[in-house]
Structure 1
Amino acid sequence: MLIAKQISSRILLKPYGESWLYLDEIDVPLNLRKQSAGSLMMKELFEIARENGCVEVWLGMEKDNKIAQSFYESLQPTEVEEFVGYTFKF
Structure 2
Amino acid sequence: METRPVVRQATTVSELTAAEHLFDGPVRPDWAERFLAAPGHVILVAYVGGEPAGMVSGIEMCHPDKGTEMCLYELSVDEAFRRRGIGRALTQALAEVARERGCYDMWVGVERDNDAALATYRSARGRDDGDFAMLTWTFE
Please state which band the TM-score falls in when normalised by the shorter chain: 0.7 to 0.9
Cα distance in 1 for residues equivalent to 2:118 and 2:89: 17
Once the two structures are overlaid, the 10-residue window that deviates more, 12-21 or 70-79, is: 70-79
Alignment: residue pair count? 89
Q: Could you tell me which residue of structure 1 aligns to residue 87 of structure 2?
A: 38
Residue 63 of structure 1 deviates from its aligned partner by: 2.2
Q: Could you tell me which residue of structure 2 aligns to residue 57 of structure 1?
A: 106
Cα distance in 2 for residues equivalent to 1:79 and 1:65: 13
Q: Does 2:84 align with 1:69? A: no
Q: Look up the SS of the partner of 1:8 in the other structure.
A: strand
Structure-to-structure mapping, 1:13-32, within 5 angstroms: 13-32=62-81
Structural RMSD (CA): 1.7
After the TM superposition, which segments of 4 or more aligned residues of structure 1 sit over 6 Å from their partners? none
Q: Which has the greater radius of gyration? A: 2
**Unmatched 5+ stretches in structure 1:** none
Cα distance in 2 for residues equivalent to 1:16 and 1:9: 21
**Unmatched 5+ stretches in structure 2:** 1-46
Structure-to-structure mapping, 1:1-12, within 5 angstroms: 1=47, 2-4=52-54, 6-12=55-61
Could you state the TM-score of these two structures normalised by the residue count of structure 2? 0.57
Could you state the TM-score of these two structures normalised by the residue count of structure 1? 0.84
Residue 15 of structure 1 deviates from its aligned partner by: 2.2
